């Protein structure tokens, strides 16, 4: 399971940037996941957070996400770092699973499962 990052706003949220969130991001916004690895604008960050939070709050809108942050975050750096960390964890975990065998921990050659 891809690990989550906690973010406290009006309550504690578990930010997990899993495959479902990645698909939703590309489908519901014009943002490609591969483009985010180069850096992220504030608009892109807010959309990524919105997509992640929709996993817990399906009816949440982008505007409500922005209000949630503006009304509850102690600072924007904490929010941005939580979003970035959730993305880094997702790709780190996928890389570990691709390179290492599930049980023995032995190294696998690329392309072999």
Question: CB within 8 A of 13, min separation 6: which ones?
Answer: 6, 7, 53, 56
Q: Pick the range with the lowest mean pLDDT from 47-51, 80-84, 97-101.
A: 97-101
Q: Are 22 and 34 in contact (CB under 8 A)?
A: no
CA 108 to centroid of chain Cα atoms: 27
pLDDT at 62 over 90: yes
Stated pTM of the model = 0.79
- pLDDT tens track for 12-47: 999 999 999 999 999 999 899 989 888 899 999 999
Determine the pLDDT at residue 54.
96
Determine the pLDDT at residue 1.
80
Determine the pLDDT at residue 2.
80
The domain spans of the chain are 5-99
Instruction: State the greatest distance between any 2 C-alpha atoms of the chain, in Å, as a whole number.
Output: 49
Q: Distance between CA 82 and CA 88 in Å, rounded?
A: 10
């Amino acid at each position: 399971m891809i690990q989550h990052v906690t973010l406290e706003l009006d309550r504690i949220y578990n930010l997990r940037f899993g495959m479902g969130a990645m698909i939703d991001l590309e489908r519901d916004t014009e943002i490609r996941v591969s483009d985010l690895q180069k850096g992220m604008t504030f608009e892109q960050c807010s959309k990524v957070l919105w997509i992640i939070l929709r996993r817990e709050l399906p009816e949440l809108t982008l505007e409500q996400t922005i209000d949630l942050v503006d009304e509850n975050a102690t600072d924007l750096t904490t929010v941005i770092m939580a979003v970035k960390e959730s993305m880094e964890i997702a790709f780190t975990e996928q890389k570990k699973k691709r390179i290492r065998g599930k049980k023995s921990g032995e190294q696998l050659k690329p392309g072999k499962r």
